[in-house]
């Protein structure tokens, strides 16, 4: 009977609210979640609206409902909404309120994970780059400047979230405080300040924290529900949460991992559903609430990918695809994992609860090979530089993302070791316009032997932000570009010009008829479609760069893999003419590109 109440509350009462509809309630009770005063079980899945085209939000939410979920959880990335200090954006793909409305219309509750720190394989863990401009500021701490800035951000965010709370007739039932804080520090005062910030901003739904099992002692906040990540043994989950919640539940697994994310140059992660489906079944059978991370991963476009790095682990940036081997794939299709999880969920539902039918797989189209007939060398598109004695980081220059060109003249003749101290993260080195080296932070490369001719030479260093670290020890050591000195045979080189390429508007690039190129280059082509459909851009013959279609960032590519294709949603293609722009760093001679009807996410090249 108890299980019946769980699911009746969680499924039968989930209906879109209207002015005359019933006002629902949701509370963290003594041992159980209570929906309208009755015990309920949250069967949740994670999906991040920032990683999904707005045009696809309803489709992905409908897929979640068809899978059997009654709740979706989503991060809110601070840097996605405040890219420039004091300028907030909650429109278009950043419209979190609309995402919540659509979830409600699809019969789903929403859990908000509002930052200020997210991790999530997202650039800088969700922090804005401009925080790094503040001298000695410490993120994720009680640094007053940091707290004041995050409080202002949350006040702006709360204007979007407060009306979406269940207490206001919306679908938002809980908010998370911080994120896995126990893996970073153990400051309860800091956590308490965020609880107070939320409340002062008008958040009146219940709050929770989440941490890994060993991190919970440091990460939980007395008086707030402690949830656990990465643990799925029913007995152990109950014992752990009981320990930090006065001996009772509710029992909430805030992150259960059906797979994992990918990093450039590393093997694609796949976890067959048979390896965890019985455990998932046992969790549901025991009445525990659970959030699958990820139900649908989506795509990390533009420069929004993060990177991992530990004291002993090398720098490791993540791929554009956030497919995650999730039950709903990157394009929003049901996978065998989806069907297996749906079957398990259905087994635990009352017989009169019927899930929506699983939508058919989306149409894909094969687009004939395209010739990129126009080009524009990067060095022909130099903006106005600033002159500096020593190289500045991106942040000190005033730029968050993209590329930075550092240019100087070096006297010769001279042979010796050129060393770039604090290189972050990926650089092409040119001498009198000829590429002489590629330096990659992943491989701990920051120096090369050079030969300067008599009469001297022009030295160019083009540096890419490959993703700020999103987790761990180096979170506060995250400036980009050249963050130290440049020396030649131990002697510092001074007198530089810096050219910023934030890559915000490639439409401003001026193209001409294609010709042989020898350096980084923009290439442009057009193609005409009579019908649209999902497709996959094949970059396996290219080097490293970025792609835009019809002005939208499709993502990064890198020949090392494992990702060799970029997902292009049908909604971003036009019937009629379409434009593609590729910025290529390593293989400027490439002049054609093709599309596939399937993704390639598992091909690593050396």
CATH number at residue 172: 3.20.20.80
91, 208: one domain = yes
pLDDT in tens, 420-429: 999 999 999 9
Residue 444: how many CB atoms within 10 A of its CB? Answer: 10
> In terms of domains, do 84 and 204 share one?
yes
Position 21 in a domain = no
Helix axes 96-105, 144-161, angle to 10 degrees: 40
Residues 485 and 557 in one domain: no
Residues present in the chain in total: 606
User: 84: how many CB neighbours lie within 10 A of its CB?
Assistant: 12
Separation of alpha carbons 45 and 326, rounded Å:
10
Q: Examine residue 355 and state whether it is found in any structural domain, yes or no.
A: no
Going by their DSSP bridges, the two strands 26-28 and 206-211 should be labelled as unpaired
452 touches 417 (CB < 8 A): no
Cα dihedral across residues 16, 22, 28, 30: positive or negative: negative
Q: Which among 98, 255, 330, 395 is annotated as catalytic?
A: 255
Give the pLDDT of residue 255.
98
**Is position 255 annotated as part of the catalytic site?**
yes
The secondary structure of residue 319, as a DSSP letter, is P
Q: What is the mean pLDDT of residues 112-140?
A: 97
Indicate the DSSP class of residue 450.
E
pLDDT tens for each residue of 506-531? 988 999 997 777 899 999 999 999 99
Average pLDDT for residues 164-170, to the nearest whole number?
A: 98
- What residues pair up with 447 in beta bridges, in sequence order? 419
CATH classification at residue 562: 2.60.120.260
The Cα angle at residue 172 between residues 168 and 174, in degrees rounded to 5: 115
Residue 426 lies in a domain: yes
Residue range 465-521, pLDDT digits in tens: 999 999 999 999 999 999 999 999 999 999 999 999 999 989 889 999 977 778 999
Residue 517: per-residue pLDDT:
78
The two tokens of residue 489 are 């045979």
Q: Strands 469-471, 307-308: parallel, antiparallel or unpaired by DSSP?
A: parallel
Within a domain: 34: no
Q: Is residue 311 assigned to a domain?
A: no
Asked, for residue 36, whether it belongs to a domain, the answer is: no
How far is residue 26's CA from residue 205's CA, in Å, rounded to a whole number? 8
pLDDT in tens, 42-80: 999 999 999 999 999 999 999 999 999 999 999 999 999
Residue 123 lies inside a defined structural domain of this protein? yes
Number of helices (H), then strands (E), in the chain: 11, 36
Which of these ranges, 246-250, 352-356, 449-453, 596-600, has the smallest mean pLDDT? 352-356
In this structure, are 577 and 476 located in the same domain?
Answer: no
Catalytic residue among 180, 330, 395, 584: 180
pLDDT digits (tens, 9 = 90+) for 368-395: 999 999 999 999 999 999 999 999 999 9
Per-residue pLDDT, 17 = 44
Q: What is the pLDDT of residues 208-218, one digit of tens each?
A: 999 999 999 99
Q: Of 501, 529, 551, which residue is a domain's last?
A: 501
181-204 average pLDDT score: 98
Yes or no: say if 588 and 352 are a contact pair by the CB < 8 Å rule: no
Task: Identify whether 585 is part of a domain.
Answer: yes
| Among 472, 501, 530, residue at a domain's last position | 501
* 46 tagged catalytic: no
| 388 and 343 share one domain | no
Residues 68 and 177 in one domain: yes
Determine the pLDDT at residue 76: 98
Number of domains in the chain: 3
For the cut 90, the answer to whether the pLDDT of residue 549 exceeds it is: yes
Range of the domain at 492: 382-501
Closest CA to 319 of 335, 308, 327, 334: 308
Residues 472 and 553 in one domain: no
The model's pTM: 0.96
């Amino acid at each position: 009977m108890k299980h019946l109440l769980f699911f009746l509350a969680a499924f039968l009462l989930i209906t879109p609210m209207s002015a005359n509809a019933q006002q629902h309630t949701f509370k963290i009770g003594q041992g159980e979640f209570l929906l309208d005063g009755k015990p309920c079980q949250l069967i949740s899945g994670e999906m991040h609206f920032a990683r999904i085209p707005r045009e696809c939000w309803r489709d992905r939410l409908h897929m979640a409902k068809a899978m059997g979920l009654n709740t979706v959880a989503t991060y809110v990335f601070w840097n996605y909404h405040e890219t420039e200090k004091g300028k907030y954006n909650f429109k278009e793909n950043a419209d979190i309120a609309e995402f919540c409305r659509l979830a409600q219309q699809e019969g789903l509750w929403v859990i908000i994970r509002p930052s200020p720190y997210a991790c999530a394989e997202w650039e800088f863990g969700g922090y804005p780059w401009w925080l790094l401009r503040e001298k000695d500021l410490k993120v994720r701490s009680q640094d007053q400047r940091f707290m004041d800035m995050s409080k202002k951000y949350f006040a702006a965010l709360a204007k979007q979230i407060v009306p979406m709370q269940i207490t206001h007739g919306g679908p938002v039932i809980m908010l998370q405080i911080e994120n896995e804080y126990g893996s970073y520090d153990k400051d309860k005062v800091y956590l308490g300040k965020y609880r107070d910030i939320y409340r002062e901003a008008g958040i009146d739904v219940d709050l929770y924290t989440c941490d890994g099992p060993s991190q919970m002692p440091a990460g939980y906040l007395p008086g707030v529900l402690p949830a656990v990540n990465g643990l799925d043994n029913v007995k152990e989950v109950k014992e752990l949460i009981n320990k930090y919640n006065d001996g009772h539940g509710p029992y909430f697994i805030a992150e259960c991992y059906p797979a994992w994310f990918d990093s450039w140059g590393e093997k694609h992660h796949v976890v067959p559903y048979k390896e965890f489906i019985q455990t998932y079944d046992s969790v549901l059978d025991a009445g525990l609430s659970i959030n699958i991370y990820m139900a649908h991963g989506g795509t990390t476009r533009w420069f929004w990918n993060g990177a991992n790095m530990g004291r002993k682990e090398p720098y490791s940036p993540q791929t554009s695809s956030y497919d995650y081997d999730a039950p709903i794939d990157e394009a929003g299709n049901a996978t065998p994992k989806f069907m297996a999880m749906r079957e398990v969920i259905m087994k635990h539902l009352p017989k009169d609860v019927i899930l929506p039918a699983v939508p058919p797989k989306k149409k894909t189209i094969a687009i004939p090979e395209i010739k990129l007939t126009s080009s524009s060398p990067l060095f022909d598109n130099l903006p106005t530089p600033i002159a500096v004695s020593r190289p500045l980081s991106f942040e000190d220059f005033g730029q968050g993302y993209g590329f930075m060109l550092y240019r100087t003249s070096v006297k010769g003749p001279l042979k010796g070791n050129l060393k770039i101290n604090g290189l972050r993260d990926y650089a092409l080195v040119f001498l009198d316009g000829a590429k002489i080296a590629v330096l990659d932070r992943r491989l701990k490369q920051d120096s090369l032997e050079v030969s300067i001719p008599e009469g001297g030479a022009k030295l160019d260093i083009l540096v890419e932000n490959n993703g700020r670290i999103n987790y761990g020890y180096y979170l506060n050591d995250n400036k980009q570009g050249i963050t130290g000195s440049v020396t030649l045979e131990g002697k510092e080189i001074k007198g530089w010009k810096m050219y910023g390429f934030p890559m915000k508007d490639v439409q401003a690039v001026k193209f001409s008829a294609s010709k042989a190129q020898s350096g980084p280059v923009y290439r442009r082509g057009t193609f005409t479609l009579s019908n649209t459909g999902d497709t996959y851009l094949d970059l396996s013959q290219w080097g490293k760069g970025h792609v835009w279609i019809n002005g939208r960032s499709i993502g990064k590519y890198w020949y090392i893999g494992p990702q060799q294709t970029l997902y292009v949603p049908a909604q971003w293609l036009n019937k009629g003419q379409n434009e593609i722009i590729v910025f290529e760093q390593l293989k400027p001679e490439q002049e054609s590109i093709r599309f596939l009807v399937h993704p390639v996410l598992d091909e690593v090249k050396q």
